[in-house]
Structure 1
Amino acid sequence: MSQRLRKLLLLLANQAIRKGMARGRTCMMIKITPQVGSYEYETQEDRSAPRIRVAIPGCLRPAGGKRLVTNTRDISLSGFAAIAIARLQPGTTCWLTLADMPALEAEIVWWEGGVVGCAFKQMLEPSTLKFLLERWG
């Protein structure tokens, strides 16, 4: 479930609860559970994935955009920061390609001053992170 849809559903549920309470009614509660393995789920489990400073050359391709040559500045099991001179819109899906590996799907979380921060759609396997650090760390 996308983060925007989740926020909209929570907003609607909260509004329904407030209206029902104001009228003396009870409301049904809706629990939205993130998909197991998703970034959102895993960060609820452990929000402290350490970032490791690196300089890994690669390519970043936002959905519907051109491939950008980049340099990854830090990486963790849950995401990365990389150089991105062009402004990239938060919420956009992107793919990061590093070191002869298949592209890693991520979502742009923020862009500021030529640096983009992204959250992996599926957290990296520790062995994948170890491989990258052994090669580039």
Structure 2
Amino acid sequence: MVNRIRATTGLALLAFVGIAQAQTAGNCPALPADAGLTWETKTAGNTQFCRALRADGSEAFGLYIAAQTAFKPVRSMRSEEVRIDGHETYWYRSEIAGQPDLQARETAIALPDGRVAYLWIQAKSKDDLASAMQQTSALRFGTGAQLSSN
């Protein structure tokens, strides 16, 4: 019984160390210092998942960085024009099944190393949406990031 507890505890610590290393490895963009957010990160193959969490554990926004994304912007769904990492782009409206009141947005950014960052926001109110957009506008992916042509 004690050995089983030690093994389980050891596995949990290894999982925690893996998450901590991913957060400190610079795989997610720099968060705004005054945002009060922290990254929750996971890696699957060559894909890095990053969720910006508020102090209460709720998601402010999320993103993943991968070789490619399935996101295909549709011009008629363009919504807000914004600057992310100093470059102009658009957020695109999206819908979440069964949640018609949710304010959902998505966009993609081409990174200097050839990968793509796909970002999403799912906000319960227009104020939460505006706050998340302001926070994502302050993200820094690295020197010379170029946005995809949206």
Provide the TM-score with structure 1 as the length reference. Answer: 0.27
Provide the TM-score with structure 2 as the length reference. Answer: 0.26
Structure number with larger C-alpha Rg:
1
